[in-house]
Amino acid sequence: MAAVVALAFVFLFMFPVSSHVRALSSNYYDHTCPQLESIVASAVKKAMSNDKTVPAALLRMHFHDCFIRGCDASVLLNSNGKNKAEKDGPPNISLHAFYVIDHAKKALEASCPGIVSCADILALAARDAVALSGGPTWNVPKGRKDGRISLATETRQLPAPTFNISQLQQNFAQRGLSIEDLVALSGGHTLGFSHCSSFQNRIHSFNATLDVDPTMQLSFAARLRSVCPAHNKVKNAGSPLDSTNFIFDNAYYKLLLQGKSIFSSDQALLTTPKTKALVSKFASSQKAFEKAFVGSMIKMSSLTGGQEIRLDCRVVR
C-alpha cells in the first residue's frame, strides 16, 4: 500500500520481551565495510525520490523490529508454509518499503559479502530516513546480529494506538525505555499517515454518551469524520499524522496541544503532568525534541537479540 501508518500498533503484555543489550560500536564496520553508510544512504535517497512515504515506512519498520525480540531484523523475514511471520501480523500488514533494505543488502553483499547484518542496515536506514526528511542525524552504534525467529502472534506486543498512558508506560518499561523515551519516540508521528481504523474509536461511538472524543478540537474532529465516515468502505482513507507529514519537525507536539492529535495514544501523553510537560517542552523547542529523539533512538536501537548475519534479509537458511 502506498500510504503509511506510522507507528500504529496492537497490544499485549503477556509475552516476555526477548532481547538484551549487546555491545555495539559506531565504528564496528570501519575496516570490514567502510562504504556501508554511503551504500545505505544511497538506497534510501533513491527510494525517497520515487516515493515520499518511504521515510515514515522505514522509521516505523525499525520501531516495530526493535519492540519484538530486539532489533534483529525479524520484521523483514517472509512467512513460509510452516510459519506466519511478523510482517503478516495485523499491525504490520501496512508496513512497506522492504525493498529499500533489499537493495542496500544486495549492494553490500557485492561490496563486502557476509559482513553486514540486516538489522544494522535497517537501523541505518531509519536514521537516514529521519535525516533526509529534515531531521537530525546521529552516529548509529552497529554490530547487531539477525534473528532466526519471526512470529506473527508476537506482534501483539506492539503498543496500540488505543493505549492509555499506563499501558504505554508499561509497554515501554518492559523494554527498558523511560517516560522521556516514550514521549520523544512518539514524535516519530511527525512522519506518516494513518488509516481510519486506527483512530475510528475517537470519532465514532467514543463512549455511551458521546460520539466524538471531547479532547479533540471540534473542526479537526469534523474533518476526520468527513474523511472517515462510520461505515467507511474506502480502503486507503485516512489522515496524515501531522500537518507537515513529510518533514521531520516538532509540529506533532504543537498540534497535540491544540487537540489535533490522531491516536488515543497521542492524546494519552497529555494525561499526566510529567508527559504533558515533555510535550510542551518539545512543542516549544525543536532542538530539545531532536536531542531527546536521538538519545531515545540510540537507546531503543541498542536492544538486540539476533545470532547471525543473514545473506538474504527475507529468508533464514
Catalytic residues: 64
SS3 5: strand
Count Cβ atoms below 10 Å from residue 241 Cβ, excluding itself.
29
As a dihedral over the C-alpha atoms of residue 136, residue 139, residue 142, residue 147, rounded to 10 degrees, the angle is -10
Helices 54-66 and 98-111, packing angle to 10 deg: 80
Residue closest to 127 by CA, chosen among 142, 108, 115, 112:
142
The residues, ordered by sequence, that sit 6+ positions from 221 with a Cβ below 8 Å of its Cβ are 202, 203, 212, 213
Q: What is the DSSP letter of 37?
A: H
Which CA distances in Å does 190 have to 32, 151, 237, 250, 290?
35, 29, 19, 7, 12
Largest CA distance in the chain: 64
Q: Are 5 and 198 a contacting pair, CB within 8 Å? A: yes
Q: What are phi and psi of 48, to 5 degrees?
A: -60, -35
Residue spans of alpha helices (H) in 179-285: 179-186, 200-203, 218-227, 251-257, 264-267, 273-284
Residue closest to 306 by CA, chosen among 18, 53, 54:
18
In single-letter form, the type of residue at position 119 comes to A
